[in-house]
A = this chain, B = another copy of it.
Amino acid sequence: MSKRALTVTRQDNFPEWYQAVVREADMAETSPVRGCMIIKPWGWGVWERIQAELDQRIKDTGHENCYFPLFIPMSFIAKEAEHVEGFAKEMAVVTHHRLKNEGGKLVLDPDAKLDEPLIVRPTSETIIGDAFQRWIKSYRDLPLLINQWANVVRWEMRTRLFLRTAEFLWQEGHTAHADQADAMAETRKMLEVYREFSESVLAMPVIAGEKPANERFPGADNTFSIEAMMQDGKALQAGTSHYLGTHFAEAQNIQFQNAQGQLTLCHTTSWGVSTRLIGGVIMTHGDDDGLRLPPKIAPRQIVIVPMLRDKPEDAELIAYCGTLENDLKAFGIRVLVDVKPTKSAEKRWSWVRRGAPVIVEIGGRDATGNNVTFMRRDRLRDGDKVVSHTKPRAAFIAEAPALLAEIQASLFAEAKARLDGNITREIKNFDELSAHFGATEGDDEAGPFKGWVLVPWSEPEGERLEAIVDRLKALKLTIRNAPLEQGKVEGSCVFTGMAATSNILIARAY
């Protein structure tokens, strides 16, 4: 074994390190279906926690969950395509509804060709909009606040587990409102829900802001995002919230009778986060020993490994661990006693790689001395040395909830310091920007850590914006967002030289 539990370090090769964590933490694997992943129990457990925590927040803000069809008629997509520039067309298309046996071979049955192809939903604006159009009659029906948890499919050429897959899981909120003010308030409210959720549950600090025009969701008037800084300095867009104006309402005839009896178009919003968040958690908290999970999303917060020796005393050890488990569960802690028939050291390291927040190892001396020996995954080592602590059983149990809260806070603090400390604000012009991020050649995957820059911006649109986007693209850079908290706006735009009206974040990104 190398000095660390993984054979590749973040420093040496960040993309390979990422793949190693996904694999060694048993989170997910590629499937025989192009671009689709298999989410394994430990990865799924994280997603279950994410769902539970976020779903509660979505309900607490007045939304109701529904479920809409997986398939969307092609005519719906065509209608949207007419209204929405930049409409993406890479999607899975169902054309037949039967297979038949022909000469011992299974083939498409040409008699079972669909009259109208069906699209596997890439997002559900159109099919939900169609329902809104039927459900909404009067201002009394507004706001209509709906969310769904679903799988969606977007045909992607280059895929990476969790970060970009053909099929992924997400929640998509869709709401309709009587006017712009109400719809914009909703858009901002859900952005704030995402920010708070990301920081307090995922321990992943983010910057919430508005996307520039070129990064808007097709059909949106305004797109907001939360952006997180990964340990290679790249940005990950972790969630988006869109104010769609009346574009979708027009395309789908979503109207209501207002209090004065007039038919009026609704203003709609949509917002979503996906399994991509799990990739963000890995790249925010992982270290060279594997994953480190914030306790709030760890499927098991404390894992107890009895140091079994295939001897009669094992039964006593297991009994000791069992009562420890029960006492911890009484606090609502998610605990596992790992009695798999594997060597204790192997089990320890498998839980280190999976990122269980607290790993307890119980040997004979602990049991007889009524002690608990444990490791904190967030502070596993002192230098190269693995650090373990021993405490009286009663004290360990009494302090366990506080210990988990401390680990949650320490993971957040570490990531927050990284984010705050790596946003450069001194860039004055494009040359400095270019110099800061280094040569254009070189692998964008494994470039040296450069963090983000915050630069003055004059909010150009149209062709001028496109030209800037192209220049940035040559440096593998993108505009992330204009932070909601702008601070001081001064000086001139690094691109146009005109007086700045806001500040924007620029970074390499996933």
Task: Please give the residue numbers on chain A whose beta carbons come within 8 Å of chain B beta carbons, in ascending order.
Answer: 31-33, 36-41, 44-45, 47-48, 64-74, 76-78, 81, 89-101, 105-106, 108-109, 117-120, 127, 130-131, 140, 146, 150-151, 153, 155, 167, 169, 340-342
Q: List 10 additional A-B contacts (Cβ < 8 Å) besides A31-B68, A108-B117.
A: A31-B127, A31-B131, A33-B118, A38-B68, A41-B64, A69-B167, A91-B98, A92-B96, A96-B117, A140-B340
A37 near B69: Cβ-Cβ < 8 Å: yes
Check B71–A92 contact: CB distance below 8 A. yes
**B41, B48, B70, B89: the one within 8 Å of A153 (CB):** B70
Among B38, B45, B73, which residue has its beta carbon within 8 angstroms of that of A65?
B45
Given contacts A65-B41, A101-B81, A118-B92, contact A70 B106 (CB under 8 A): no
Decide if A78 touches B95 in the complex (CB within 8 Å). Answer: no
A39 neighbours in B (Cβ, 8 Å): 66-67
Q: Which residue of B lies closest to A40 (CB)?
A: B66
Contacting residue for A89 out of B64, B67, B99, CB 8 A: B99
> A99 to chain B: closest CB distance in Å?
5
Which of A94, A118, A146 is the most central at the interface, judged by chain B CB atoms within 10 Å of its CB?
A: A94
Task: Please determine whether B117 and A120 come into contact, CB atoms closer than 8 angstroms.
Answer: no
Residues in chain B near residue A37, CB distance under 8 A: 69
A341 to chain B, nearest CB (A): 6
Is the pair A36, B341 in contact by a Cβ cutoff of 8 Å? no
Docked pose: A140 CA to B66 CA in angstroms: 42
Can you sample 8 A-B contacts with CB below 8 Å?
A: A32-B73, A32-B130, A38-B67, A44-B64, A70-B120, A90-B97, A93-B94, A140-B340
In the complex this chain forms, how many copies of it are found?
Answer: 2
CB distance from A167 to the nearest CB of B (A): 5
Q: Are A69 and B38 in contact (CB under 8 A)?
A: yes
Are A93's CB and B89's CB within 8 A? no
Separation of A76 and B44 alpha carbons in the complex (Å): 24
A150 to B341, CA, bound (A): 32
Q: Chain B: which residue is nearest A93 at the CB level?
A: B96
CB-contact partner of A99 in B93, B167, B341, under 8 A: B93
Chain B residues with CB under 8 Å of A73's CB are: 32-33
* Residue from the list B74, B76, B92, B98 in contact with A97, Cβ < 8 A: B92
Give the residues in chain B near A33, CB-CB below 8 Å.
69, 71-73, 118, 127
A165–B81 CA distance with the chains assembled, in angstroms: 29
Cα A96 to Cα B94 with chains together (Å): 7
A66, A67, A146 — most chain B CB neighbours (10 Å): A67
Closest to A71 in B: B33
Q: Taking A41-B64, A117-B108 as contacts, is the C-beta distance between A31 and B94 under 8 angstroms?
A: no
Assess whether A151 is in contact with B106, with CB atoms less than 8 Å apart.
Answer: no
Q: Determine the distance from Cα of A92 to Cα of B71 in the docked complex, in whole angstroms.
A: 10
The reply to whether B66 and A41 form a contact with Cβ atoms under 8 Å apart is yes
Whole-angstrom CA separation of A205 from B278 in the bound complex: 41
B93 near A81: Cβ-Cβ < 8 Å: no
Interfacial chain B residues near A90, Cβ < 8 Å: 97-98
In the complex, what residues of B have CB within 8 A of residue A65's CB?
41, 44-45, 48
CB distance from A97 to the nearest CB of B (A): 4
Closest 3 CB pairs of A and B: A36-B69, A41-B64, A39-B67
Knowing A66-B44, A70-B36, A167-B69 touch, does A95 contact B95 (C-beta < 8 A)? yes
Q: Which residue of B lies closest to A78 (CB)?
A: B106
Considering the chains assembled together, what is the distance between the CA atoms of A93 and B93 in angstroms? Answer: 8
Q: How far is the CB of A479 from chain B (nearest CB, A)?
A: 28
| Contact status A94-B120, CB under 8 Å | yes
Task: Decide yes or no: A71 and B108 within 8 Å by CB, A93-B94, A140-B341 being known contacts.
Answer: no
User: In whole angstroms, what is the CA distance A382 to B200 when docked?
Assistant: 53
Cβ–Cβ < 8 Å partners of A131 in chain B: 31, 38
Contacting residues, chain B, for A101 (C-beta < 8 A): 81, 89
Q: How far is the CB of A407 from chain B (nearest CB, A)?
A: 24
Are A97 and B155 touching (Cβ within 8 A)? yes
Tell me the smallest distance from the CB of A342 to a CB of chain B, in Å. Answer: 8
**Contact partners of A98 in chain B: CB under 8 A:** 89-91, 93, 155
Q: Which B residues are in CB contact (< 8 Å) with A95? A: 93-96, 108
A69 to B167 Cα, complex, angstroms: 7
